[in-house]
């Protein structure tokens, strides 16, 4: 699943053009997997009492709190319970693999964990190689062969924003940043080829959150690595130039279109929230794919302008997480969701403190930094990057469910600790 997710959307689109139903099935395979395995994972968690620890109970309570808030919101607004369930599930679905991987990878060894990370690393290197091919072809076809390109929206500042096989450049930037963070915090020594291909993917994504994240982890890991400091300084210079250029582009866009969609949609979100301050208008009613699937009446109720409705319906997302959350689930929903993120952070900190394995400590450090990236990302976009979030939750589950065992072979020696609760 972790290898499949980065190419899920691309593969779904390709198959949908040939055999429609199969493409749709592949697009939803992550959700079907979660729904099928989640009950079994909870059974495993509570069957092994050592896993029913404070860490898991707090996270489970936080997820339940988000679900109850969504349910109350749906009942308060007399919404369809099907729409309500699907809407609130859309908020938490990419965090639920945490429980699945914690339950079914609880006996994983460090050697097996290393194999999983290496497999993800190889997958990312392949995607990075695809980025190099796409960027090279974009340059050759436009600058040498003078072939006009259809996907002009993927160009920024004269550089082609490579989507690789992940459907969108922002997905490439975030996923590569995730893998890079794992690699830098778990590898004893950084290899040139993996670093080069991952760095290339981040550069060609032209994603500011990926650029900023790369600079942060490079600065944190720069001790004894002068070459990382040079890259950080270079990236800071490039990011400053891109940010200034972006402001000019946005200003020009605002003048031409009078109202930028994101500003307009955020204004409407505020209007909805002011009418429903405590629990919102109901999950699945505004801004997300569920609201378009079930033809939500909210857009008519709040006189959403047709041009912006058509624009948003083309990609079925408000692309602004917190405005959508406040509009759909109100202040209470925002509090419970923030509580979910903080419960995961608290579990990481507590588990990292109690574990002795250097490799797993590094994994927890990486996950803490990635959680920070996720929160920053929600301030400017939506939580609709499945490959990134599902993989994050999967490794979070593996780390939290990890039980150290004594293992001696040619490569690994790990000292056990009393992390488990006695049964």
In order, the DSSP letters of 203-259 are HHHT-HHHHHHHHHHHHHT-TT-HHHHHHHHHHHHHHHHHHHHHHHHHHHHHHHHSS
Mean pLDDT of the chain: 82
Per-residue pLDDT, 63: 95
Point out the least confidently predicted range of 128-132, 155-159, 193-197, 414-418: 414-418
DSSP 8-state assignment for residue 385? -
Average pLDDT score over residue span 182-187 = 90
Per-residue pLDDT, 21: 73
Average pLDDT score over residue span 250-276 = 74
Per-residue pLDDT reduced to its tens digit, 22-59:
777 888 889 999 999 999 888 887 776 555 567 788 89
Tell me the three state secondary structure of residue 407.
strand
Average pLDDT score over residue span 221-228 = 68
In the chain, % helix, strand, coil (3-state, to 5) comes to 75, 0, 25
Residues in the chain: 423
Per-residue pLDDT, 272: 96
Tell me the three state secondary structure of residue 408.
strand
423 band by pLDDT with thresholds 50, 70 and 90: very low
Average pLDDT score over residue span 194-209 = 87
Per-residue pLDDT, 64: 94
Per-residue pLDDT, 150: 58
Residues 308-315: contacts with CB within 8 Å, 24+ apart?
308/261, 308/264, 308/265, 311/261, 312/261, 312/265, 312/287
DSSP 8-state assignment for residue 419? -
* pLDDT surpassing 70 at residue 245: no
Average pLDDT score over residue span 375-404 = 87
C-alpha–C-alpha distance, residues 247 and 135, integer Å? 25
Per-residue pLDDT reduced to its tens digit, 150-172:
554 577 766 788 888 888 888 89
Point out the least confidently predicted range of 190-199, 238-247, 381-390: 238-247
* pLDDT surpassing 80 at residue 229: no
* pLDDT surpassing 50 at residue 384: yes
Phi, psi of 223 (to 5 degrees): -60, 120
Average pLDDT score over residue span 188-214 = 86
Average pLDDT score over residue span 191-195 = 87
pLDDT: which is higher, 298 or 379: 298
- For 81, residues 6+ apart whose C-beta sits below 8 A from its C-beta are 74
As given in the structure block, the two tokens for residue 193 are 């080829």
Average pLDDT score over residue span 93-100 = 93
* pLDDT surpassing 90 at residue 16: no
Per-residue pLDDT reduced to its tens digit, 313-349:
877 888 889 999 999 999 999 999 999 999 999 999 9
- Residue 98 CA to chain centroid, in angstroms? 13
Per-residue pLDDT, 157: 67
* pLDDT surpassing 80 at residue 135: yes
* pLDDT surpassing 50 at residue 258: no
**HEC profile for 145-171?**
CCCCCCCHHHEECCEECCCCCCCCHHH
Per-residue pLDDT, 159: 77
Strand duo 413-414 + 155-156: pairing: unpaired
Output the CA–CA distances (angstroms, integers) from residue 147 to 130, 132, 142, 158, 418, in the order listed.
20, 19, 5, 15, 64
Average pLDDT score over residue span 251-276 = 75
Helix axes 8-18, 386-400, angle to 10 degrees: 130
Average pLDDT score over residue span 249-270 = 66
Average pLDDT score over residue span 299-323 = 87
Provide the total of helices (H) and of strands (E) in the chain, helices listed first: 18, 4
Q: What percentage of residues in the chain have a pLDDT greater than 90?
A: 41
Model confidence, pTM: 0.87
Neighbours of 306 (CB within 10 A): 9
Per-residue pLDDT, 254: 41
* pLDDT surpassing 70 at residue 411: no
């Amino acid at each position: 699943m972790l290898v499949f997710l980065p190419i899920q959307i691309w593969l779904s689109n390709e198959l949908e053009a040939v055999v429609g139903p199969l493409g749709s099935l592949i697009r939803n395979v992550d959700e079907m997997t979660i729904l099928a395995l989640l009950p079994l994972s909870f059974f495993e968690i509570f069957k092994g009492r050592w896993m029913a620890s404070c860490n898991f109970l707090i996270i489970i309570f936080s997820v339940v709190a988000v679900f109850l808030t969504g349910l109350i919101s749906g009942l308060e607004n007399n919404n369809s319970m099907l729409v309500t369930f699907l809407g609130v599930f859309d908020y938490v679905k990419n965090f639920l693999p945490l429980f699945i991987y914690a339950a079914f990878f609880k006996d994983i060894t460090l050697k097996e964990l290393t194999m999983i990370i290496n497999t993800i690393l190889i997958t990312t290197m392949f995607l990075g190689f695809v980025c190099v091919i796409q960027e090279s072809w974009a340059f050759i076809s436009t600058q040498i062969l003078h072939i006009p390109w259809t996907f002009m929206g993927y160009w920024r500042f004269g550089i082609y924003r490579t989507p690789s096989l992940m459907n969108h450049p922002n997905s490439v930037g975030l996923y590569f940043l995730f893998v890079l963070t794992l690699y830098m915090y778990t590898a004893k020594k950084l290899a040139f080829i993996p670093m080069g291909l991952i760095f290339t993917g981040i550069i060609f994504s032209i994603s500011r959150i990926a650029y900023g994240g790369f600079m942060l982890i490079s600065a944190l890991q720069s001790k004894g690595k002068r070459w990382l400091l040079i890259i950080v300084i270079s990236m800071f210079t490039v990011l400053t130039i891109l940010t200034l250029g972006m402001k000019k582009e946005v200003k020009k866009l605002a003048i031409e279109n009078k109202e930028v969609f994101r500003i307009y949609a955020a204004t409407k979100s505020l209007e909805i929230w002011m009418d429903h301050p405590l629990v919102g208008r109901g999950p699945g009613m505004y801004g997300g794919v569920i609201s378009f699937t079930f033809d939500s009446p909210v857009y008519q109720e709040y006189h959403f302008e047709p041009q912006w409705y058509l624009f948003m319906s083309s990609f079925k997302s408000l692309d602004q997480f917190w405005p959508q959350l406040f509009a759909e689930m109100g202040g209470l929903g925002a509090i419970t969701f923030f509580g979910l993120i903080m419960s995961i952070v608290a579990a990481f900190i507590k588990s990292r403190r109690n574990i002795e394995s250097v490799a797993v400590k590094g994994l927890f450090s990486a996950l803490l930094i990635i959680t920070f990236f996720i929160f920053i990302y929600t301030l400017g976009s939506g939580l609709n990057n499945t490959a990134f979030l599902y993989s994050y939750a999967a490794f979070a589950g593996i780390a939290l469910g990890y039980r150290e065992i004594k293992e001696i072979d040619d490569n690994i020696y790990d000292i056990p600790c009393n992390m488990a609760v006695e049964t």
